[in-house]
Structure 1
Amino acid sequence: MLSNKTILITGGTGSLGKALTQHILKNHPQIKKLVIYSRDEQKQFQMAQEFPVEKYPQVRFLIGDVRDKERLIRAFKDVDYVIHAAAMKHVHLAEYNPDECIKTNIGGAENVVHAALETGVERVVALSTDKACAPINLYGATKLTSDKLFIAANNIKGWNPIKFSVVRYGNVMGSNGSVIPFFINKKEEGVLPITDPEMTRFNISLQGGVDMVMYALENAWGGELFVPKIPSYKILDVAEAVAPNAEKKVVGIRPGEKVHEEMITPSDSFYTYDIGKYYAILPSNPIWNIEDFISTYNGKKVEPGFKYNSGENTEWETVESLRELIVQHVDSSFEI
């Protein structure tokens, strides 16, 4: 499917963007071009050292901000697929800088939609977050709005055959700013700050996130919001896995945080289908036949009132499994 195609990743210098780049170049070397679009010139410079043009002539780097619609239109010219990973994502920073969060996460999403519609892009996959589900913080609210913009874009495209879809998942293990690298850095101090002893989170590896994006890119009909079936962990188990001898000091929840994250609410259940490895929340007004979708993916509608949150999950990481995952996905030299 990716043979001789051009792919652009907004926010391409982030953790997932780099993982996607590695995956695409390894598994789809026949692509025509892979464009890394981001506003951080230093990260682009560093990433260009990891993917030198002599070895990877397909890779291009473009400085640009998703807030700049004209730059996006120029960047999207002759692009087939767009993966939209650019976002302002730190919850507490968004609470203190609301205008900046809105400009990037909502205005940027609008710009990506319109630039894609104007330039002949075939498919767009936008990254969401569990914090967009029943949001209580500004970051989550902006990402929910972004999700709605991409899903609704399928209804305004007219004759254009483009397909927009969304993937939503929980904390990416080892990504920039996530809790495990933070705890690893803190353990030498002998004290790990715990926001709330009851706190839980969903857990997905970078590769799991990559696999989900690629699945949506290849299989979406347009308008779906895909949710993975992934385990949860308890924050105290993460602390125990990283530094069993460190003091666990309760410091309280930061602005905008939840104790448990959600990915599907009871209100979503009326549009949610189990399609095997993932759930798919379908649009309320799809432009295709739902029965055809169900037949194609052997979809089974979830029970009315079904909910999917990290505190009531049926699958859990243990202290031992977390240590194995840290070595596998975060730090191969990790030792207690």
Structure 2
Amino acid sequence: MFKDKSILIIGGTGTVGQALLRDILKDAPRVVRIYSRDEYKQFILQEELSHHMKAHNNLRFLLGDVRDEARLDRAMNGIDIVFDLAALKHVPACEYNPFEAVKTNVMGTQNVIECALKNKVERVIYTSSDKAVAPTNTMGATKLLAERLISSADYSKGHDQTIFAAVRFGNVLDSRGSVLPLWKEQIQKNRTITVTEPEMTRFFMHLQEAVTLIRKACEIARGGEIFVLKMPAVKLGDLAQVAIQYYCQELQLDPSVVTIQTTGLRPGEKMYEELMTEDEALYAVEYEDMFCIRPMMKPVSQETERKIQSYSSSMESLLSLKEIQDMMAGTSAE
């Protein structure tokens, strides 16, 4: 799909951005530009991919912030497809610094839209979050507004221009922001892991599933949609039990010495996770592996309409301990 295409990955030094980059390189693109503000992560990634750079000479590393429209405009010159993964994602940090979240997650997204239209980019795929669904915190509210900007950009732009669409993620198990690396470190150092609330439920996905969702959205988007992967739901307390057994075996420790400390909900957190509201379900089409939420300005036709309810971890069947073990083993294998 990306053969001979010019690609820009904004926020490309993050976990998902790096996995997406490695996947795209298999398709022999003409050029891939990595755009981020973290020079250290860029240096490390350049070292890891030095063989690609020597063999293909199709990688470019650009320092810049999504808040800087002029720099973003230069980075987007001559680009065919844009993947926007840049965001402030840490819920407490966004609560404490709300306007910083607005500047990156909202104003930064609008900068991407303006530059994409100016440079006549073919497609823009924006990565959103479960926190955008019925948001109860600043981070979620900014991601929701960013989604609306993306959808509105596609609807109001007229024809024969850029296609804009978004994907919504749950928790990516093998990402740096996942709870699993934190728990492993806590087991090593303190023999105690912290759990917000054992009864809390969450959706989880593997890193490669996140990449596949982005690719599929890019391939089939017609404009303004939000794509949501169907994911297994897990009770946090069950995940913690399995993680203790898993990491203690890896670290050659006795699981009985590890304790679980409950810290309680943080401001803005929910006991369950939502990826689609009942109102959005009115505009949703169900596929075998995902939902496609069409923009509210483009209702679903009677022929394709499904009887879909909201998509919430509180309503889904939860994975058993054995299924969680298999899921974690799959993460290790990847």
Q: Compute the TM-score of the two structures, normalised by the length of structure 2.
A: 0.92
Could you tell me which residue of structure 1 aligns to residue 314 of structure 2? 311
Quick one: which amino acid aligns to residue 88 of structure 1?
L
Task: Tell me the distance in 2 between the aligned counterparts of 1:166 and 1:243.
Answer: 35
> Are the equivalent residues in 2 in contact too, given 1:135–1:141 (CA < 8 A)?
yes
> Are the equivalent residues in 2 in contact too, given 1:173–1:330 (CA < 8 A)?
no
Q: 1:160: how far off?
A: 4.0
Q: 1:161: how far off?
A: 2.2
Which has the larger displacement, 228-237 or 316-325? Answer: 316-325
| Structure 2 gap segments, 5+ residues each | 246-255
Q: Compute the TM-score of the two structures, normalised by the length of structure 1.
A: 0.91
> Are the equivalent residues in 2 in contact too, given 1:51–1:59 (CA < 8 A)?
no
Q: 1:256: how far off?
A: 1.7
Task: Tell me the distance in 2 between the aligned counterparts of 1:130 and 1:122.
Answer: 26
Query: For the aligned residues, what is the CA RMSD?
Result: 1.7
What SS is found at the alignment partner of 1:221?
Answer: coil
What SS is found at the alignment partner of 1:128?
Answer: strand
Could you tell me which residue of structure 2 aligns to residue 105 of structure 1? 105
Matched, 1:268 2:280: yes
Taking a change above 3 Å as real, the CA distance of residues 237 and 184 of structure 1, as seen in their structure-2 partners, is: same
Taking a change above 3 Å as real, the CA distance of residues 208 and 80 of structure 1, as seen in their structure-2 partners, is: same
Task: Tell me the distance in 1 between the aligned counterparts of 2:15 and 2:202.
Answer: 19
> Are the equivalent residues in 1 in contact too, given 2:117–2:161 (CA < 8 A)?
no
Alignment equivalent of 1:284, drawn from 286, 296, 302: 296
Q: 1:322: how far off?
A: 2.7
Quick one: which amino acid aligns to residue 301 of structure 1?
R
> Are the equivalent residues in 1 in contact too, given 2:8–2:34 (CA < 8 A)?
yes
Task: Tell me the distance in 2 between the aligned counterparts of 1:118 and 1:212.
Answer: 27
Q: 1:319: how far off?
A: 2.5
Task: Tell me the distance in 2 between the aligned counterparts of 1:150 and 1:330.
Answer: 35
* Equivalences for residues 112-151 of structure 1 within 5 A: 112-151=112-151
Matched, 1:39 2:41: no
Could you tell me which residue of structure 1 aligns to residue 331 of structure 2? 329
Calculate percent identity across the aligned residue pairs.
39
* Equivalences for residues 1-336 of structure 1 within 5 A: 1-26=1-26, 28-29=27-28, 31-52=29-50, 53-188=53-188, 189-244=190-245, 245=256, 246-286=258-298, 290-291=300-301, 299-303=304-308, 306-314=309-317, 316-330=318-332
Quick one: which amino acid aligns to residue 290 of structure 2?
Y
Could you tell me which residue of structure 1 aligns to residue 252 of structure 2? none
Which has the larger displacement, 56-65 or 97-106? Answer: 56-65
Task: Tell me the distance in 1 between the aligned counterparts of 2:288 and 2:195.
Answer: 35
Q: 1:62: how far off?
A: 0.5
Quick one: which amino acid aligns to residue 309 of structure 1?
S
> Are the equivalent residues in 2 in contact too, given 1:180–1:238 (CA < 8 A)?
no
Q: 1:323: how far off?
A: 2.9
Task: Tell me the distance in 2 between the aligned counterparts of 1:310 and 1:22.
Answer: 31
Task: Tell me the distance in 2 between the aligned counterparts of 1:123 and 1:90.
Answer: 27
Task: Show CA shifts across 1:172-209 (max 9, x none).
Answer: 01211211111111113221111112111100111000
> Are the equivalent residues in 2 in contact too, given 1:151–1:224 (CA < 8 A)?
yes
Q: What is the number of equivalent residue pairs in this alignment?
A: 320
What SS is found at the alignment partner of 1:193?
Answer: strand
